[in-house]
Structure 1
Amino acid sequence: MGTDAELRAAGIGPGDEVVVSAFGDVDTVRSITEVGAVPVFADIDPMTYGLAHDAVAAVLGPRTVAVLTTPRFGRPVEREPLVELGRRHGLLVLEAEEGQSPDTRDEVALRRARAAYFDVRLRGVRVPEGSAGHTYRQYVVRVPGNGRPDRDAFARELRAERIDCRIPVRIPLHRLPQYWSNTSLPETERAADETLALPVASPFTRRQARHLVSRCNALGGGVVRSDPGTWWAAAF
């Protein structure tokens, strides 16, 4: 069942407001407008990239009927605070799909192994926060600047070295013309400016992964750690 069908099945329609993240997939917001409801954007948690429950609480109004969450980058949604908030205010808490085909066990195991390798070796960028159930569909780091190259310059340097990297959210949804809102979402906008997805799913060799770490650390000003040894034999 698609997200718009779930909204309709829940009785959500014209005049209703649904709280949603602006740091996500345009299709999720489109599913709200397709049933005639109005998206209301709330800020994210800077570590999980999911909706921050205090930010959701701050935008609730008399027409709010639901909160629509989406897993980000393979990290499961932390539902408990939102469910409790929904219980207090009589709101539905729904979860949209992340929009990718299901992962195999081997795919997840490989990505987790690569993520663990990067976690302890990358310097000069902030590595993602792990959690139980994280599948690392994207390995998203933060490039905060602090006198070093900004995220876009950082990405250009990596691509010049033939290292695949992607900007997960170029423009937050509340800044797109069709969904424009004057709402202040500082963590969302900061994440859009700083996040960069490094490859954990694409096939690459031990040498390429070492090269990625070396280049990231050089650009970010860190120190490369020693060879991981047996980890590579298990992961490649």
Structure 2
Amino acid sequence: MGTAELLTAAGVGSGAEAIVPSYATTEAAEAVRAAGALPVFADIDPRSYCLDPAAVTRAVTSRTAAIVPVPLFGHPVDHAGLRAVARAHGLLVIEHDGSDQDGSDQDDPAEHDATRASLAARQANAAYLDARLTGVLTPATGPGAEHRYHSYVVRVPGNGRPDRDAFARALRARGVRCRVPVQTPVHRTPAFRRELWLEETERAADECLALPIGAGMTRRELQRVVSACNALGGLLPMAA
């Protein structure tokens, strides 16, 4: 069952609210709306980019019925923290299992083995980049969590979006593919616009950049990423 169906089956519908992240795709918010409920946006943890339990607590109202966390970039949500909030307020936790999942629970043993091999390669590539990148802030992993690195998302230090965008242009000019993982937080999109300030969400939207980390990348390709990032040093003028 999809997230909307799970919410409906649990009785979360018209008049209810469900807390979702804004630093994500619109899928979770759309699922809540499809169930007839109102999506309410809460801020993220700056390390995992997933819902921050403390921010979720602040977003709870008398109409809140569920929390819909989204694992992002391959980092799992804070299950323990969110379940503690849910217990304290009598809420459901229904994790949105959208496109960020990698299908690692496949029944076919060959497919499962291939998935695990791809995961191991991505994690090895991430470790290589973690040990060598100095021009950006590398991803953090929460205690006890296994990062699957569907995306390798770094932060570009400096003055937010202008520096991040200039850094990205300079990397592309050097042949390094990169992308902004979340261009616009969901609460600032026309379909879900809310007048609220989510500090960590806004900061992530301005600073984050996804670097290539495909399982098939060679060490030479990884070194090209390292050399380009380190040469730029993390700060560039807007005209770069």
- The normalised TM-score by structure 1 is 0.89
Residue 56, structure 1, aligned to residue 56, structure 2: yes
- Deviations along 1:189-228, one digit per CA (max 9) or x if unpaired, are 1101111111111633322211110110111259xxxxxx
Superposition map of 1:1-236 within 5 A: 1-99=1-99, 100-103=101-104, 104-131=115-142, 132-145=145-158, 150-201=163-214, 203-220=216-233
AA in 1 matched with 2:124: A
- Deviations along 1:132-177, one digit per CA (max 9) or x if unpaired, are 3211111100012159971111111111122111111000000001
Q: Do 1:128 and 1:140's aligned partners in 2 also have CA atoms closer than 8 Å?
A: yes
Q: Structure 1 residue 13: deviation in Å? A: 0.6
CA distance in 2, matches of 1:145, 1:124: 11
Report the CA distance shift for 1:75/1:221 in structure 2 as closer, same or farther (over 3 A): closer
Report the CA distance shift for 1:77/1:12 in structure 2 as closer, same or farther (over 3 A): same
Give the length in aligned residue pairs: 222
CA distance in 2, matches of 1:13, 1:170: 29
SS of 2:187's partner is helix
CA distance in 2, matches of 1:157, 1:174: 30
Report the CA distance shift for 1:127/1:98 in structure 2 as closer, same or farther (over 3 A): farther
CA distance in 2, matches of 1:218, 1:50: 31
Q: Structure 1 residue 130: deviation in Å? A: 2.5
User: Cα RMSD between the aligned structures?
Assistant: 1.8
Structure 2 gaps, min length 5: 105-114, 236-240
SS of 1:218's partner is helix
SS of 1:57's partner is helix
CA distance in 2, matches of 1:184, 1:48: 19
CA distance in 1, matches of 2:215, 2:34: 34
Report the CA distance shift for 1:13/1:56 in structure 2 as closer, same or farther (over 3 A): same
SS of 1:119's partner is helix
Structure 1 gaps, min length 5: 223-236
Q: Do 2:17 and 2:63's aligned partners in 1 also have CA atoms closer than 8 Å?
A: yes
CA distance in 2, matches of 1:156, 1:162: 10
- Deviations along 1:22-71, one digit per CA (max 9) or x if unpaired, are 00111111011111100000011111111111111111111000110010
Q: Residue 230 of structure 1 aligns with which residue? A: none
Q: Do 1:72 and 1:98's aligned partners in 2 also have CA atoms closer than 8 Å?
A: no
Q: Do 2:18 and 2:39's aligned partners in 1 also have CA atoms closer than 8 Å?
A: yes
Report the CA distance shift for 1:114/1:36 in structure 2 as closer, same or farther (over 3 A): same
- The normalised TM-score by structure 2 is 0.88
